[in-house]
Amino acid sequence: MEKFKGEGVIDFFDKFQTDLDCLEYLAFRKWESGYTCKKCSHRKYTIRKSNFARDCNRCHHIESPTANTLFHKVKFGIRKAFVILFEMSATSKSISSSQMAKRLTIHRSTAWLFMHKVRISMKSSESMPIKGLVTVDEFVFGGQEDLKPGRSNDSKKKKIVAAVETDAKGGIKRAYFKKIDDYSSTSLITIFDTHISTKPKISTDKWSGYKPLMKVYNITQTKSDKGNTFFEMNTIIHQVKSWMRSTFSWMHEGHIEKYLDEYSYRLNRSNYKESIFDNLVCRMIKHQHAGLKDIKLSA
Ligand SMILES: [Zn+2]
C-alpha cells in the first residue's frame, strides 16, 4: 500500500473504490509503525478480512481501523467520509454541509457533524510558532458589515484577530485566526501566545491594545493608511471573509473558530498539496473520537 498523493479526482476514485479500500488505507496508516494490543500489549495479530481489524493473538481483543479515531461510528460509509476529507483538503475552497449532503446523499446534519469533526482535526498543533516576519491585525465579520479592515464595536459582528507570516518578498507563508470578545490586550494576547514566538519582528497598527504586549513581544506599530501598509494582511482578510460569506449561508458565533481553522489548514499547506489528503487522514486517526456533545454548543 502506498500513500495517496496529489489532488487528482480520478486518482482518488481509482484508489478508493469501495469502503473496504478505505478501511485498508486507514489500517495501513494507523499501524504503519507497528501494532500493540490495547488490552494486553501483545504485538502479534491476525488481520480480519472483513474490515482489516487487528485481532490480538493472545487475548483476542479486536481493534477496528476506525476505533479511537475521528472516523469512529461513521454510519454513512467510510468511502463517503473519505470524499468529504478529499473535498475539504485537496480542493481550494471546500463546500457547505448542505451541498456536501446533497452530493453524497446523506442527511444534512450527518454531513454537518462529520465536517466539524474534520475541522477539529484541522486545528493547529500550536507547536510551530511563527519565527519570521509577521503582521497582526483585527477584523469583523457578519452583521451589517462593511468591507473595510479594522475595529468595530457592533455587537452583531464577530471579532477576529489574525496573524499573517510573510517571506522577505511579501509572499504569504502562514495565517492564523482567533475569535476575540473585544480588542483589549488580554484578548489580543491569545494569538501571540498561541502562534507567535517572542523573537520575530511583529507589525501592528497604532491600536493601544498592543502596547502592553510590547514588554514581551518585538512589536513595531505603524499608522494604518487605509490598508496600504498591511497589504498581505488585507489580502488574507478579504479572502477569508469572502470564503465564509460565499460558502456558508449562516455561521454560529460559537463555531466560527472551527471554520477559521479549516481555512488556515488549507492555506498553510498550499505548498504541500501533494500530501494534504494523507496528512488529514492521519490527523483524523491520531485524534480521539469526538461525538455530538463535543461539538454542539452548550449554550
Ligand atoms: Zn491482546
Mean pLDDT, 10 residues at a time, the chain of 299 residues: 94 97 98 96 96 97 96 95 96 89 96 95 93 92 62 77 91 94 94 94 93 94 73 91 86 88 94 94 89 67
Q: Which of 280, 274, 250 minimizes the C-alpha distance to 98? A: 250
Residues forming beta bridges with residue 164, ordered by sequence position: 135, 175
CA distance 149 to 142: 13
Question: Are the C-beta atoms of 282 and 29 separated by less than 8 Å?
Answer: yes
pLDDT the model gives residue 126: 92
pLDDT the model gives residue 229: 65
pLDDT the model gives residue 299: 38
pTM of the full predicted structure? 0.91
pLDDT the model gives residue 228: 61
Ligand 1 centroid to residue 149 C-alpha, Å: 57
Ligand 1 centroid to residue 43 C-alpha, Å: 8
Ligand 1 centroid to residue 39 C-alpha, Å: 5
Ligand 1 centroid to residue 77 C-alpha, Å: 28
Ligand 1 centroid to residue 20 C-alpha, Å: 24
Ligand 1 centroid to residue 41 C-alpha, Å: 6
Q: Which of 252, 257, 258 minimizes the C-alpha distance to 298? A: 252
Q: Phi and psi dihedrals of 164, rounded to 5?
A: -120, 125
Ligand 1 centroid to residue 29 C-alpha, Å: 20
Ligand 1 centroid to residue 147 C-alpha, Å: 59
Ligand 1 centroid to residue 67 C-alpha, Å: 15
Ligand 1 centroid to residue 38 C-alpha, Å: 7
Ligand 1 centroid to residue 137 C-alpha, Å: 53
Ligand 1 centroid to residue 3 C-alpha, Å: 28
Ligand 1 centroid to residue 104 C-alpha, Å: 37
Max CA distance (Å), the chain? 70
pLDDT the model gives residue 45: 97
